[in-house]
Chains A and B, each alone.
Chain A
Amino acid sequence: MSGRVSAEPQPFVFPHRHLLGIEGLSRDDIALLLDLAESYIALNRRAEKKLDVLRGRTLINMFFESSTRTRTSFELAGKRLGADVINMSTSSSSIKKGETLIDTALTLNAMQPDVLVVRHPDSGAVRLLSNHVECAIINGGDGSHEHPTQALLDALVIRRHRGRLAGLLIAICGDIMHSRVARSNIHLLTIMGARVRLVAPPTLLPAAIERMGVEVHHDMHRGLADADIVMMLRLQTERMQGSFVPSAREYFHFYGLTYEKLAVAKPDALIMHPGPMNRGVEIDSVVADDITRSVILEQVELGVAVRQACLEVLARNLPGIGHNR
């Protein structure tokens, strides 16, 4: 169909059965995924988007937590590769009827899916599931643990704009404590040789986070100084009312991204946000909408390409598919 489809099988093989997190991946694994994703970007911008890489394969999206963008992104990625995609959400699942996670996994496993994408509110739940199924599993976000495809798409956006990851200074700001996006990004960026700074009040930083190879700041002006990339994280509403920070107002005053705070970063610093945004809490609306700086919508676009790449490498490792594309 396109030039890339007839490409020779990649010389490097993805040596993992599942994608449960960034931790444990090598530099080569990550580069492989990013390179492959890169090749999908142009394809996704064409009118005819469909390939048959996953033809005959079944992808189940199992979301135990509400999600619009990630679920849709995986659904599109699967469909564009030719897979049959089924979406299951908590409201329609038998979890509500008291079935345990493992029973749900065994039930789905019996239907012979090839790939399961799982999002779950509990850290470690996706790994637990992976012990009880035969298909490939992609972690679509588990608790505060990891969200590997988000980190990969963030990396792809950065690489496209800066041509590299190594040596860049990336500031991740906001609710680090509860953020799986932050953890996956910390792993990925440090593996790829970038410098990572975290900026947050101490109440939103988990214990011993500095041991993950990052610099920690409590002040945006210091934290953003000379940053190449500013990554903002969403602050959940229930955490703004005196439990972790005194108020949304005070949080925005000290940690909300404004032009004034951004001024200390590199003049061409990119602004990223995994979404959904709280405008006026962690980011000023004007900054979020600044098309010269904000790459927030590009993150969404490249998310599909990254998920196509993840699905492809895992599908290649499934029995009976080999390289016969």
Chain B
Amino acid sequence: MADFFATAQTKAAPSGRVAYVNARLFDPESGRDEGGALLTDGRQIVDLGPRLFNEGVPEGTEVVDCGGFLLAPGLVDMHVHFREPGHEHKETLATGSRAAAAGGVTTVACMPNTEPPIDDVALVHFIERRARDTAIVKVHPIAAITRGLRGEEIAEMGMLKEAGALAFSDDGLPVYNSRVMRRALSYSTTFDALIVQHAEDPQLSSCGCMNESETATRLGLPGIPNASEVVIVERDIRLVEITGARYHVAHISTAEAVDAVRRAKARGLRVSAEAAPHHFTLNETAVGDYRTFAKMAPPLRSEADRQAVLEGLKDGTIDAIATDHAPHDQDSKRLPFAHAANGIVGLETLLPLALELVHARHMSLREVLATVTIRPARLLGLECGRLAKGAPADLTVIDPDRSWQVDRDRFQSKSKNSPFDGRAVRGLALRTVVGGCTVFRRDG
């Protein structure tokens, strides 16, 4: 049987009362992990607990039987590229949101490196309108730090934030000019805005296209040194020190940068970081014989770096897991390695790859789910990411043990560029609920 997907229109219609019964209520924020039920009314969670509906579900309430599986807050992915406007042949808010729903993700923050880039209030409104009209999960824009992502003049952060931008980033590119970065951090404090840095020194990366290492040397590919990431992170931390800004390192990939963030946190600075699943599940050897599906920025690093990212997740240095979902069509990837586009799709593999950390006993289920729910939600200032009375009715039903094999041909995303194709994984979203409405149900 085909899986069910709602449309943006059905999602928009107000839902009535829905009872989720026979659930394992799992809330990473409170630590709640118990059998019970949950009630939503319209777009909110109104009640939950082990004894709810012990007397039966009242007449007129829709009942969803969770089959004893995990009922958790819908996942929050704070770093995706949905390519709209400008590159709709790679992804749109519609297709990207279906990929999110199929992956158990209810909220995404999309990066502004579109064409044109999201650096103006009108463009924030465009994303919000397209999200409302075409997307089946919550799509929030992150706006550019600098106009046109050029790294020169800061964008209208205050007005962009008022319009709905959750955070600011020139992702894809770093803010390289130290003076501009200092001003951006400084200015952002007025609005308590989060500044998300793509930490890469373009001069050090130069024309590099994979991790600088023996593998790169053997393949004859120019390398990107670890220093390329950490010199920017270290510089930015110095600037956070003098500005007091909220600073977030996107897709952290090196041991050195993880350590820099750890030390900054210890000094009480408002510094956070996210890691992408590929940076804690793969290392540079995945490039193999020039596999362009293993090409991304920052690149897959050494095994020691992979371990360091894992450590950073375990000790809380890294706050969130975010996919850096970067769809590319086949023509952008079927090229000599140096010319192939950077990035991989990630929304439909996020949950099982994150759960590998649980299955491998690196982290508890609560710790792992916190990195994809409450922690990114808090960084972005969102109310979601938790199971609590009054919280948004954004939920996902998860079978954390279900074994399956990644098959890119079954991806909802318009693009199929995944190095995880064929990987045996465990953990699957069975149902995704956004604002009280089931937007995805796995029937197959």
Contacts and interface: CB of A to CB of B under 8 A. Distances in A.
A123 B217 CA distance: 11
Nearest to A129: B336
A180 B337 CA distance: 16
B142 interface: no
A183 B220 contact: yes
Contacts of A144: 220-222
A207 B284 CA distance: 14
A145 interface: yes
Interface in B186-218: 212-214, 216-218
Given A128-B290, A208-B214, A123 B221 contact: yes
A31 interface: no
A124 B217 contact: no
B339 to A, nearest CB: 7
A212 B336 contact: no
Nearest to B217: A206
Contacts of A209: 214, 217
Contact of B220 (A101, A128, A142, A211): A142
Interface in A128-150: 128, 142-146
B202 to A, nearest CB: 16
Nearest to A208: B214
B217 A101 contact: no
Contact of B337 (A23, A124, A146): A124
Interface in A193-241: 206-209, 211-212
A149 B219 CA distance: 17
Contacts of B218: 23, 183, 212
A290 interface: no
B130 to A, nearest CB: 31
A101 B217 CA distance: 24
A122 B338 contact: yes
Interface in A32-66: none
Among A144, A206, A209, chain B packs the most CB atoms within 10 A around the CB of A206
B214 A180 contact: no
Contacts of A18: none
A64 to B, nearest CB: 10
Contacts of A212: 214, 217-218
Contacts of B216: 206-207
B409 interface: no
| Interface size of B as a range | 20 to 34
Nearest to B211: A207
A110 to B, nearest CB: 18
B223 interface: yes
B162 interface: no
Interface in A106-161: 120, 122-125, 127-128, 142-146
B220 A120 contact: no
A208 B226 CA distance: 14
B204 to A, nearest CB: 13
Interface string B222-250: 11010000000000000000000000000
B334 interface: yes
B336 A207 contact: no
Contact of A145 (B214, B219, B331, B334): B219
A144 B220 CA distance: 4
A124 B334 CA distance: 12
B335 to A, nearest CB: 7
A168 interface: no
B220 A100 contact: no
B443 interface: no
Given A145-B220, A207-B223, A123 B214 contact: no
29 contacts: A100-B331, A100-B334, A100-B335, A101-B335, A102-B334, A122-B336, A123-B219, A123-B338, A124-B219, A124-B220, A124-B221, A124-B337, A128-B290, A143-B338, A145-B219, A180-B220, A183-B217, A206-B216, A206-B217, A206-B223, A207-B213, A207-B217, A207-B223, A207-B225, A208-B213, A208-B214, A209-B214, A212-B214, A212-B218
Interface of B: 212-214, 216-223, 225, 289-290, 331, 334-339
A-B complex: 3 closest residue pairs judged by Cβ atoms: A145-B220, A124-B290, A122-B336
Given A124-B220, A207-B217, 12 more contacts: A100-B334, A122-B339, A123-B219, A123-B220, A123-B336, A124-B290, A128-B290, A144-B220, A180-B220, A207-B212, A207-B225, A212-B218
